[in-house]
């Protein structure tokens, strides 16, 4: 009778529950070992660049995937694709196009409904998709124009391959990992514990701290 009289209170899991600590440790050890080898001039600086991209973005991406309930094998695949892309971008001309592989992997997981906890894969009306694309394009153009006029810099594209490589890096590594973790995983977990404003503040402060560090 006591259990029937008492209200059931859903308790949120700890904020860091499900964090892939073993995989994060492997990434940290790999990055540290690369730094030591490069410092001892045993390996070329290229190795540290590859390890840094893999560890930095990979840590955010696999944590977001793990918090969304994705199996560890899928997280390992994401890291492997990211490492492959970083290697290709460093050693092969136009190899930065390989950064689309991690993006396609996340897209495939979202289509199969495995990233609903990140807000990915839910049906979106065509009107909303078009509106979002137009707003994003307008905001990007506004920022580009404002920055160029404020700094007195003429906007132009001198090296198209370099621009395309930077865009591929953003799509498949930088923006992908940051958005999945900060806007998706961290915000969603925070919102289950606190108010929307508090969750948005936590995600935003963490996002800014990441770039300021």
Give yes or no for residue 2 having a pLDDT over 60: no
- 10: number of Cβ within 10 Å: 5
Distance set, CA 199 to CA 115, 183, 189, 207 (Å): 19, 10, 8, 12
CA distances for 99 relative to 12, 20, 130, angstroms: 35, 23, 25
Contact 142, 148 (CB under 8 A): no
Tell me the longest C-alpha to C-alpha distance in the chain: 76
Q: Which pLDDT score, from 0 to 100, does residue 8 have? A: 43
Distance CA 121, CA 98 (A): 23
Q: Is the pLDDT of residue 3 over 60?
A: no
On the question of pLDDT at 48 being above 60, the answer is yes
Q: For residue 7, name the pLDDT band (cuts at 50, 70, 90).
A: low
Helix ranges, 68-113 (H): 72-91, 100-111
CB atoms near residue 131 (< 10 Å)? 11
The whole-number pLDDT of residue 178 equals 93
Is 42 exposed, middle or buried, given 0-12, 13-18 or 19+ CB atoms closer than 10 A?
exposed
pTM confidence score: 0.84
Q: What is the pLDDT of residues 136-147, one digit of tens each?
A: 888 888 887 887
Inter-residue contact 81 to 101 (CB < 8 Å): yes
Mean per-residue pLDDT of the chain = 87
Tens-digit pLDDT profile for residues 15-31: 788 899 999 999 999 99
């Amino acid at each position: 009778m006591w259990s029937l009289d008492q209200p059931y209170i859903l308790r949120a899991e700890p904020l860091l529950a499900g964090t892939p600590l073993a995989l994060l440790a492997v990434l940290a050890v790999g990055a540290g070992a690369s730094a030591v080898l490069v410092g001892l001039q045993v390996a070329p600086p290229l190795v540290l660049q590859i390890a840094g991209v893999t560890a930095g973005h990979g840590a955010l991406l696999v944590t977001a995937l793990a918090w969304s309930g994705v199996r560890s094998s899928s997280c390992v695949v994401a890291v492997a694709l990211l490492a492959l892309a970083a290697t290709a971008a460093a050693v092969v001309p136009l190899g930065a196009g390989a950064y689309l592989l991690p993006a396609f992997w996340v897209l495939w997981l979202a289509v199969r409904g495995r990233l609903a906890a990140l807000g990915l894969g839910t049906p979106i009306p065509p009107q909303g998709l078009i509106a979002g694309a137009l707003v994003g394009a307008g905001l990007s153009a506004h920022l580009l124009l404002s920055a160029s006029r404020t700094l007195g810099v003429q906007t132009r594209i001198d090296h198209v391959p370099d621009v395309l490589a930077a865009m591929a890096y953003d799509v498949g590594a930088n923006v992908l990992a940051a958005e999945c973790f900060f806007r998706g995983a961290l915000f969603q977990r925070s919102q289950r514990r606190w108010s929307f404003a508090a969750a948005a503040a936590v995600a935003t402060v963490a996002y800014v701290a990441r770039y300021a560090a």
